[in-house]
Amino acid sequence: MRAVAQALDLDQHSVIGREFGNVVIVKELGRGSMGGVYVGYQKSLKRQVAVKLLPRHSGDAGRSRRQFRDEAETVAVLSHPYIVPIFEMGEDDDYFFQVMQLISGADLGCMIRNRLKHPVASRRLLPPARIIDILSKVLEGLGYAHREGVVHQDIKPANIMIDEAAHRPLIVDFGIAKTARMEYWGQGLVVGSVLYLSPEQAAAQETDRRSDIYAMGMVLFEALAGRLPLRQNEDEKRILLRKIKRPESLFTLAPSECSPHIDEAMEKIILKALAPRREERFTSCEAFRSALMHWNPPVPQ
C-alpha cells in the first residue's frame, strides 16, 4: 500500500529563466505530488501561464512520465468552464512539462483557513451562499468529467482554485485521475489525499464517480464548518485505517454540531455524500448539486 503525496526535489533556481517550448520560467508558485508549478511567460501570445515541471529522474521515471502524459491528455479532452485547461505538453533532457492557464486567485483551502483568522468571531466562516455557489459549479464540472469517463480521485479544497478575475472555480490537478482508457492503478495502491479519500479508496479498491462524491462531501463539510471534527491524536495512517475499518466513526461530532450554517437538512446532504457504502451516496454529481441548489440556509438568530 502506498499513498501518492510526496513533494518532489526541484531546484527552483536552476529553472528560473529557462525555456520550455516557447515559455520562459519566471518564478515558483508551489509544489505537489506530481511536480513543481511555476509562473511562465508565453512569448508567442505575450501572456503569463502556469507551467508544471516534473524531473525526468524522479522516482520511477517510466511511470512518472506516463502519469504526467496521461494527466495532460485527460485534461486536454475535458473542455469545460470549471476545469483548468492545458495548452501544451512536452519534455527536454531534464524535465517533462505542461503549460496551462494561470489562475489569478487562491484555492478553496486557503480561503477557508484565511477566513478562520478573521478578528470577528461571527465572520470566521465563509458565507453559505458563497460556498454553495462555488461547490455547485465544481459539481457541474466534475459531473461533466464523469460523463467523459474520468474520475478525479484527488478532490480536495487545495485542488479547487478560485479565479478572481472570472469569479469562478476551476478544478485542477488531474495527476492521479482514472479514465476508461487508462487503468494502471493496481490493487494495493492507495492514491489521493488521505483526509478526503473515500473508504473504498483507502482500502485500495475500485473507484468510480461516487468516490469523488465522497470527497466533495468532505469539502462541503469543511467549507461550512471551517474545520473537520477529527481526533487530535490521529495521524494520516490512523485516519486511513479508520476509514477502512470503521468509516462511520471518523468524526467526533455530527455536522450540525460544528457550525450554525449546518441545519438538519444540510446535515442530511453531507451525510448522504459521506455514506461509508457508496451505494448509499448520491448517484451522481447532478443529484448532489440538485440537493445543494434546493437547500435554504438557516436564518441567523
CB-based contact 81:141 (threshold 8 Å): yes
143 and 283 fall within a common domain: yes
Mean pLDDT of 241-250: 95
Mean pLDDT of 129-142: 97
Q: How many domains does the chain have?
A: 2
d(CA 138, CA 141): 5
pLDDT tens digits for 21-78? 999 999 998 876 557 899 999 999 999 999 999 888 765 556 667 777 777 778 888 8
Q: Is the pLDDT of residue 5 over 50?
A: no
Residue of 154, 163, 173, 212 marked catalytic: 154
pLDDT band at residue 228, thresholds of 50, 70 and 90? very high
| Residue 270 DSSP symbol | H
> In this structure, what CATH number is given to the domain that contains residue 74?
3.30.200.20
pLDDT tens digits for 164-214? 888 899 999 887 788 765 554 445 566 778 999 999 999 999 999 999 999
37 and 157 fall within a common domain: no
pLDDT of residue 2: 36
pLDDT of residue 166: 84
95 beta partners? 55
181 and 213 fall within a common domain: yes
82 and 230 fall within a common domain: no
Looking at the whole model, is its pTM more than 0.85? yes
What residue numbers bound the domain in which 80 lies?
A: 12-100
Active site residue 163: no
> In this structure, what CATH number is given to the domain that contains residue 175?
1.10.510.10
Burial of 290 by CB count in 10 Å (0-12 exposed, 13-18 middle, 19+ buried)? Answer: middle
Helix, strand, or coil here: 246?
coil
| Size of the chain, expressed as the number of residues it contains | 301
Q: Angle of helix 209-225 relative to helix 128-147, nearest 10 degrees?
A: 170
Q: In which residue are the cell numbers 486511513 written?
A: 240
Phi, psi of 285, rounded to the nearest 5 degrees: -65, -30
d(CA 298, CA 261): 6
How is residue 182 written as a grid cell?
487508462
230 and 202 fall within a common domain: yes
pLDDT tens digits for 253-297? 999 999 999 999 999 999 999 999 999 999 999 999 999 999 998
Helix, strand, or coil here: 216?
helix
pLDDT of residue 127: 95
Answer with the one of 100, 126, 148 that is the final residue of a domain: 100
